Chains A and B, each alone.
Chain A
Amino acid sequence: MKRKIISLGWGVRKEGRNIWTRNAVKGISVRKERRKKDGKNEWRIWDPTKSKIAASLLRTKFDPAKIIPQPGNDCLYLGSSTGGTVSHIHDCVCGSGNHHKGQIIAVDISSRMMRELVKLSEIRPGIVPVLADARDIAQISPFIYKKVDWIHQDLSISDQAKTFVKIAESFLKNNGIGLLSLKGASERAADGSLEIKFEKAEEILMNSNLNVIEKIDLKGLEEQHVLFYCKMKCID
């Protein structure tokens, strides 16, 4: 029986429990993921156990299409690592040969991870690799000339929510989408249990210029993680 295909936006679709993105570089997998042909197009499976965004698409109670960026958007990805998730975001924001004219500023502090990301950015135009400390605005701002439409932060540091608010208030457009993947284990142990850490982070987000739309629990796909789906308030 053929599975029902639900489109989650340009280049992203859900088939049963699997999410697929339209491969911008045909014939090449980024982290050995499965690919399949559908007519002229090739699709890559987006593993929710390796990507918090893919996990949140499966777990959200709202429309998952609203979480992912639109083709041609400017995106900021903090904590890009080797670029597994970045490549899927690139599939929908830039497409093959960056025909959507989108841009993903991918920031990571590790030169080892950046080595792999540079290779990826050479075959995927639109990805801008930045070796920098994502907590420091001055290190990122030279690469951004206007506020971005979409931010995802996935950093293993303490004070993740505070960092996210600082970054979003500097770089996110009005009504722009901000996703914070909060890793409970990275926060200070003295802060208390996981629930308390998540509550504290939510409180920090609520007291900022961000509207928290949903707190998505990723249990079962990513342990000790929640993803905060936020929107920037309109500020004149």
Chain B
Amino acid sequence: MRISYDWRLSRLINDEGMVIDEIYWTSDVTVPNLVRRLLLLQKGRMSPEARILYERFDDVEVCPEGHLDDINWPPYDEDQQKMFDEAAIKMTKLKIAESSGDLDKRLDMLVSSANEIRSTWTTSESRCIEWVGLFLTEINLDTNRKEIINSIVKSESISSAANLMETTQPLFSPSEVEWKSLKKHCELAVDLTQRMRQHEDAIRILTLDYMPTLSSLIGPLNASKLLVLAGSRERLARMPSGSLQVLGAHAAMAAHRKGASPPKHGSILFSLPQVGKSPRWVRGKVARFIAGKASIATRIDHFGGIPWGDKEISKINSDIEKIISKFPKPPIRK
């Protein structure tokens, strides 16, 4: 015997296909209740009518899709169809609204917009420096980058900016309109710096709360970047550490598929000083070790484990030091 059900009714059917018992949903049949019912069914739960039949009879098999094979399953009448159409739209709207509570999506927005700001900032900052350097030819454009932009923002003309930076006066000065544009562009670079800081602060707060263990291991900014690359915390937690190790190395992985040697680490792990500042012959070993630990850390965060404290983190850092000191010289090329 089996129980088949949809949102309207539940039937107990014997092996010969005969309906032994059936219960219809009759009380409080409203659109909001139908939305609740559909949400339950979508989660794989039984309808209340199916549950009653299940409790009433022993040795029955529950078939959530059983009604699809039943040629005698009643079709929707006009009212049911209307109610179902309305409920489906309402339920989808509700689920769309609920998706704003998803921290994965919120972090994705934050990290992606921070990346966009950083990329805009890099372009604007370089442009400002080159622009100012065109007029102030004696100034060092590599060491005083921050100072150059701040001086332009504070000054009323290029000569006052030159005075502020204690450099020689320009031979040619920009026209009034040109100066205004240059100053505005520098103001934009300063504004972008502040906005970037604001974004990164928000990312830190959210990630420290959402992934405390991974954040203490590799830093909240890197943790959030890994999460965004993986798609969600769950996907990151279920990912093998070998995949986590190469997250962000898309181009190298594509080259590897065509025969090149595999990447040792992705861009996120490389940005960690333990990996990036290690000798090149141990970077792969350190990256593999950190990826393994990061994988465990994500699983602790996702599946509700006890977050790591300073003791565990310092143990991992000392293990990294041991790996680095074990290989002081590069391997001999064969």
Residues of A near any B CB (own CB < 8 A) = 111, 114-115, 117-118, 121-122, 125, 128-132, 137-139, 141-147, 170-171, 189-190
Complex-state Cα separation, A138 to B257, whole angstroms: 36
Could you give 30 example pairs across A and B, Cβ below 8 Å? A111-B95, A111-B99, A114-B92, A115-B96, A118-B96, A122-B89, A128-B84, A129-B88, A130-B88, A130-B92, A131-B92, A131-B95, A137-B65, A138-B64, A141-B41, A141-B65, A142-B6, A142-B7, A142-B42, A143-B88, A144-B68, A145-B6, A145-B8, A145-B67, A145-B75, A146-B68, A146-B75, A147-B68, A170-B68, A190-B257
Task: Contact check, B89 vs A129: say whether CB atoms are below 8 A apart.
Answer: yes
State the main secondary structure of chain B at its contact with A.
Answer: helix
- Tell me which residues across on chain B come within 8 A of A132, comparing CB atoms: 42
Task: Contact check, B68 vs A118: say whether CB atoms are below 8 A apart.
Answer: no
Complex-state Cα separation, A147 to B66, whole angstroms: 11
CB distance from A83 to the nearest CB of B (A): 12
Given contacts A141-B68, A143-B38, 8 further A-B contacts (CB under 8 A): A114-B92, A128-B85, A131-B96, A141-B64, A142-B42, A147-B68, A170-B68, A189-B257
Q: Which of A121, A129, A142, A147 contacts B38 (CB 8 A)?
A: A142
- Given A114-B92, A125-B85, A138-B64, answer yes or no on A145-B76 (Cβ-Cβ < 8 Å): yes
Sort A-B residue pairs by CB-CB distance and give the 6 closest, nearest first.
Answer: A142-B41, A111-B99, A131-B95, A129-B92, A128-B88, A138-B44
Q: Which of B42, B65, B257 contacts A170 (CB 8 A)?
A: B65
- Tell me which residues across on chain A come within 8 A of B88, comparing CB atoms: 121, 128-130, 143
- Tell me which residues across on chain A come within 8 A of B96, comparing CB atoms: 111, 114-115, 118, 131
- Tell me which residues across on chain B come within 8 A of A111, comparing CB atoms: 95-96, 99
Residues of B near any A CB (own CB < 8 A) = 6-8, 38, 41-42, 44, 64-65, 67-69, 73, 75-76, 84-85, 88-89, 92-93, 95-96, 99, 257
Q: In the complex, what residue of chain B is closest to A137 when comparing beta carbons?
A: B65
Complex-state Cα separation, A138 to B66, whole angstroms: 12
Q: In the complex, what residue of chain A is closest to B254 when comparing beta carbons?
A: A189
- Tell me which residues across on chain B come within 8 A of A147, comparing CB atoms: 68-69
Complex-state Cα separation, A189 to B65, whole angstroms: 34
- Tell me which residues across on chain A come within 8 A of B44, comparing CB atoms: 138
CB distance from B80 to the nearest CB of A (A): 9
- Tell me which residues across on chain A come within 8 A of B69, comparing CB atoms: 147
CB distance from B283 to the nearest CB of A (A): 25
Task: Contact check, B67 vs A118: say whether CB atoms are below 8 A apart.
Answer: no
Complex-state Cα separation, A159 to B93, whole angstroms: 30
- Tell me which residues across on chain B come within 8 A of A144, comparing CB atoms: 68
- Tell me which residues across on chain A come within 8 A of B92, comparing CB atoms: 114, 117-118, 129-131
- Tell me which residues across on chain A come within 8 A of B67, comparing CB atoms: 145-146
Complex-state Cα separation, A128 to B85, whole angstroms: 6
Complex-state Cα separation, A111 to B78, whole angstroms: 29
Complex-state Cα separation, A118 to B75, whole angstroms: 24
Complex-state Cα separation, A219 to B29, whole angstroms: 51
- Tell me which residues across on chain A come within 8 A of B85, comparing CB atoms: 125, 128
Task: Contact check, B73 vs A146: say whether CB atoms are below 8 A apart.
Answer: yes
- Tell me which residues across on chain B come within 8 A of A115, comparing CB atoms: 96
- Given A145-B73, A189-B257, answer yes or no on A139-B68 (Cβ-Cβ < 8 Å): no
CB distance from A117 to the nearest CB of B (A): 8
- Among the interface residues A121, A130, A131, A138, which one has the most CB atoms of the partner chain B within 10 A? A131
- Tell me which residues across on chain A come within 8 A of B64, comparing CB atoms: 138, 141
Complex-state Cα separation, A132 to B99, whole angstroms: 12
Task: Contact check, B6 vs A138: say whether CB atoms are below 8 A apart.
Answer: no
- Tell me which residues across on chain B come within 8 A of A137, comparing CB atoms: 65
